[in-house]
Amino acid sequence: MSGKRLKYLLAGPSLFLLTGFALGGSFGYKAALSLGLIIWMGLWWITRPVYIGITGLLPIPVNAVFGLIPSAQLIAQYFSEVVVLLIGADFICQTWSRTGLDKRLAMGALRFIGPNTRQQIAVWLLASTFMSVFLPNVVVGAIFVPVAIAMLKVEGEDIKTSHISQAVVLAIVWGAGIGGFGSPIGGAANLVVINYMEELMGKEFMYVAWLWRFLPLLALVILLNLFFLLHIPLEKSNMPGSKAYFKKLLAQLGPLTYGEKLGLALFFIAMILSFARPLYAEVMPGLRPAYVFFACGLSAFFISLRDEEGNTLLDWAYANEHTDWGLLYLFSGGLALGRLITGTGAADALAKCITALPLTGGPETLVVFTAFTTLLTEISSNTGSASISAPVIISICRELSIDPLPYLLLSAVAINCAYTLPVSVRAFAVSYGLDPQVLFHRGMLLTVCNILLTTAVGSLILILLPAFGKL
């Protein structure tokens, strides 16, 4: 074991105990240890001395040893309704990857690229953003980044030296990130926010209500990202061979197969039933979107491909190998951490500290929420950021006697907008050769501008559109 890894391994529990000891007198024993666990898990999520999914399991033994909240409340987070939705959506996505439908859709979008380099950068951004509205951002990054690198090599562009290559890869990872708040299923972090909103409202949140609130905001964020990308200086204005490259790849896939049609049908059935939920909610109150996606994903194991081998659209060997169980543990661990923060009073304690600032619920409050959430997303993950920030935002709003719902909704924008550090989908760019300093340099100013944009637009929404926060 390297000395650096050992240092981080020991630092996590040490800071946990130190925080509990230092803050126990003022915050209370249980709340202080919950805050210490935030620091412990946050440190390990950043430095990664162990796999991030293993870090997500830490709340279980910590709670068992220190008795912070009833264990049943904590364990329930590891197979909550939101986790059921993620598993179902993942199974559906796996039918796409197994049949090649994901690559077909990507090539189908990219074949419309023209020879103009700046136009190509715009198409990469729009394509990755659109895909990320419906698929996890890491899946979009895994599909698009290697295809882009291959195309750029054909054009003689090296990601380590070429501004064109850097702009294309940045367009992909930035687009894959921001597209997440375009729909409720665009990322696990959105489901965390929805989970807290449903607890506040005491009723089910309808997915269709998300669209009219966030699609206009997404359009503004896309324009901001595009502005920064198109102002990167480029070595040449045309790459004429790229369009032919994508057409060639698409032609190699052949006609749409029976399996691809089935995978596409399952996705559309799940999406339509989820967004049409208000039409049948009273008749079938139990058929919430989580169970719609789970049922559609599960049906892939039974639908025959009608081939000679008798294969089904999805089998367990493929699903087990391609399901990111660690991501599910990360997500569940974030929910468990959020439950500890609220259940021990740690969120209220943090809120009282933050409300010592001159906050009134106006633009200054939005700046604090957006900057706080963005920072958490930069250093950990979207899911971790949502799990930590959501209960804190709720507690702060209660301290200020304001409705937390619109602030929770606006925080979803910040949760999906991180640009500077090689975490989450941005790690794909670095793994394929992008200098982390380029990522930081190009993303820092954009991060600040995005915080200001979200604050400005959010402030106008709170003043001019009070219905935004009424659910």
Whole-number Å distance between alpha carbons of 401 and 396:
9
Whole-number Å distance between alpha carbons of 334 and 260:
34
Give the largest CA-CA distance in the chain: 70
pLDDT at 424 over 70: no
Whole-number Å distance between alpha carbons of 78 and 64:
15
Asked if 462 contacts 468 with a C-beta cutoff of 8 angstroms, the reply is yes
Percentage of the residues of the chain whose pLDDT score is greater than 90: 20
DSSP 8-state assignment for residue 254: -
Q: What is the pLDDT of residues 148-200, one digit of tens each?
A: 877 777 677 777 788 888 998 899 989 988 988 888 877 778 888 888 888 88
Whole-number Å distance between alpha carbons of 417 and 76:
29
The pLDDT, as a whole number, for residue 124 is 87
Asked if 426 contacts 418 with a C-beta cutoff of 8 angstroms, the reply is yes
Q: What is the pLDDT of residues 220-244, one digit of tens each?
A: 999 999 999 998 888 777 766 666 7
Bridge partner residues of 304 (DSSP): 312
Q: Label each residue of 9-51 as H, E or C.
A: HHHHHHHHHHHHHHHHHHHCHHHHHHHHHHHHHHHHHHHCCCC
Pick from 361, 80, 294, 276: which is nearest to 196 by CA? 80
Q: What is the pLDDT of residues 26-82, one digit of tens each?
A: 888 898 998 899 889 878 877 788 887 888 899 999 999 999 999 998 998 888 887
Average pLDDT, rounded, for the chain: 84
Token pair listed for 197? 């909103």
**pTM for the structure as a whole:** 0.73
Q: How far does CA 327 lie from the centroid of its chain?
A: 11
pLDDT at 210 over 90: no
Mean pLDDT value of segment 358-373: 86
Whole-number Å distance between alpha carbons of 117 and 236:
7
Whole-number Å distance between alpha carbons of 308 and 395:
59
DSSP 8-state assignment for residue 68: -
The pLDDT, as a whole number, for residue 240 is 64
DSSP-derived 3-state class of residue 471: coil
Q: What is the pLDDT of residues 101-134, one digit of tens each?
A: 877 877 777 777 767 888 889 988 998 898 888 7
CB atoms within 10 A of CB 254: 9
DSSP 8-state assignment for residue 115: S
- Sign (positive/negative) of CA torsion 344, 350, 356, 358? negative
Mean pLDDT value of segment 274-281: 84
Asked if 468 contacts 409 with a C-beta cutoff of 8 angstroms, the reply is yes
Q: What is the pLDDT of residues 71-86, one digit of tens each?
A: 998 998 888 887 887 7
Bridge partner residues of 214 (DSSP): none
Whole-number Å distance between alpha carbons of 76 and 71:
8
CB atoms within 10 A of CB 317: 8
Residue 208 sits at φ, ψ, to 5 deg, of -65, -25
The pLDDT, as a whole number, for residue 390 is 86
Bridge partner residues of 204 (DSSP): none
DSSP 8-state assignment for residue 403: -
CB atoms within 10 A of CB 6: 11
The domains of the chain are located at 81-322
Whole-number Å distance between alpha carbons of 154 and 293:
39
Tokens 């719902």 correspond to 405
DSSP-derived 3-state class of residue 304: strand
Mean pLDDT value of segment 285-296: 88
Asked if 292 contacts 273 with a C-beta cutoff of 8 angstroms, the reply is yes
